[in-house]
Structures are given as C-alpha cells and as structure tokens.
Amino acid sequence: MVTKEDMIDMFEELFSTAKMEVMSNSEDVAVNRQLFGQVQGFFIAMTMVLPMDQEEVEFVEVRLRALAEQIG
C-alpha cells in the first residue's frame, strides 16, 4: 500500500519536473500545459485516496495557481 508520504514525494517530483520544464522551455506552451495537467490530475487523485486537511489542499492549490500563471 502506498503511504501518504510516498504520494507526497511523487507529487513533489512531478511538480518539480513541471516547474523546471516551464522555466527552461517557456516557449512550448502545449508541453507545459500537458505537464501541468498531469500534476493537477495527480493532485486530484491524491485528494480522492488520501486524507488531506484543508491547509494542505490550499497550499497545493496556491502552488498550482502560481505554476499556471507562469505557463500563461
């Protein structure tokens, strides 16, 4: 069984990869949006299977919103 810590680590890895791609390849909006969608989808899946408090959810939503703004 996957633990909450494992899921958080996977999310952080996906998020970091997407953020680095956005920062290094800002011209390829389609790829950046696809990566963003993968991160967002993974987070939605996390909220469905893990008990997350409101503070954790809001923290991630703020990070996702900032990434979305960088994509444009």
What confidence tens digit (pLDDT) does each residue in 11-40 have? 999 999 999 998 897 778 888 999 999 999
CA distance 67 to 72: 9
- List of residues 6+ apart from 16 with CB closer than 8 A: none
Q: Return the pLDDT at 28.
A: 83
Given a cut of 80, whether residue 56 has pLDDT beyond it is: yes
The residue ranges of every structural domain in the chain are 4-71
Q: How far is CA 32 from CA 44, 48, 57, 68, in A?
A: 18, 25, 22, 9
Query: Which pTM does this prediction carry?
Result: 0.84
CA distance 69 to 55: 21
Q: Return the pLDDT at 4.
A: 86
Taking a C-beta distance cutoff of 8 angstroms, is the pair 36, 68 a contact? yes
Q: Return the pLDDT at 66.
A: 92
